[in-house]
Structure 1
Amino acid sequence: MNSFPLYFILRMQHSGKIFIFLAKIKESILERTVLGMGNAFIALDFETANGKRTSICSVGMVKVVNNEIVESFYTLVNPFDYFSQTNIEVHGITPEDVIDAPSFEYVFPYMMQFIDKLPVVAHNAAFDMNVLHQSLKQLNIETPSMIYFCSYQLAKRTIDAYRYGLKHLMKHYKLDFHGHHDALNDAKACAMITFRLLKHYDNLQSMLQIYGKNLKDKG
């Protein structure tokens, strides 16, 4: 096996500035990634500037292979839209924070490069997948074929818990959780919950046969 760098780096240039996504990777995980991606998936979270599904202001994603997070992706996004005070109070992102951030049209190809045809999970996927679908529709970008599932719905159908929000499920599994509504932190929490839920199934593919959906079916 060839040696691999300890870091995955993705550079994105926008308005003369370089945005760098840097995530430490364990070499042992990389080896397993090369050998097989059968139990790999992407956990995704969007934050929005206001109530409109087309107002993405941040994206967080993590890649999970064999129950371990191996890579991460995060960027602020300029929605070119107003910020509601309600949303600012939820995620803490302000108009000033995104002045120099890239548009979603610019970010999307890098997202797809990171996802690399893996299935995608989101907590309350109905929201996140609608955000993605509506944003692509507004930009006249064809909706890609993307298998996805919802960790919230999967948890409700798999375990008995007091409540099924991210914070409650992290507490259910006795996991530390800080920075709720930071897109990357939420994606990490979603990932940690998901690979624990998957232990109740033979494998990821068998679960997807039951609960998997395709984003392209949204039209």
Structure 2
Amino acid sequence: MTKKKFNFYPGLPVKNRPFTLDDIVCGVDEAGRGPLAGPVFAAAVILDPKRPIEGLRDSKKLTEARRDELAPIIREQALAWAIAECSHHEIDTINILQATMLAMRRAVEQLGLTPTIALIDGNRCPQLPPAIRAHAVVEGDDKVHAISAASILAKTARDAALVALHEAYPQYAFDQHKGYSTALHLERLRLHGPCPVHRRSFAPVRALLKPDPCEPDLFASLEGVAA
């Protein structure tokens, strides 16, 4: 009986793949660009072709329980994986885009195995060491299993970090909204003001630090928004 060949790149037709079978491919994704508080995380994963993992897809399309099931499997079965972050201080200093790129670079550089190409979720690539090619894949977290795996590791790591922040700042309910601009988070922000881990460069937080009567009601436009 012929064993079914596992497709690690279900959304990338062979003719469009920017690598060969000789390449060491790593997937890279981030979690936490949109929240008003906490760090942004990134993960890099090199999967083992001999140990495929079923059920990998964009972490946002998985339940929290399923992400929590897959994360330890990824860490156990991948050839290499790494998780990195940029703090809220770094985000406020260099902006969220550059902080995301930096977290991605840190994750790739921390891998125990050096890839020859990094497939990055989205339409932008971080600056990587010269020996590593970078290629952006729009919606890559549902097209490349290595990116899906990175998405899951980054998401579960960041969620765990926000649960830990809840212990320090329980009044903001970080364990429930994970820092995103939900109605609950905005309500707590109004009530308590920003705490030390809020991103001062983000408009709703900045508005509470230095209210400007000429600015529109940022909270009204953001209530219920989460990414």
TM-score (norm 2): 0.28
Whose RCO is larger (CA < 8 A, sep 6+)?
A: 2
**Structure number having the greater strand percentage:** 1
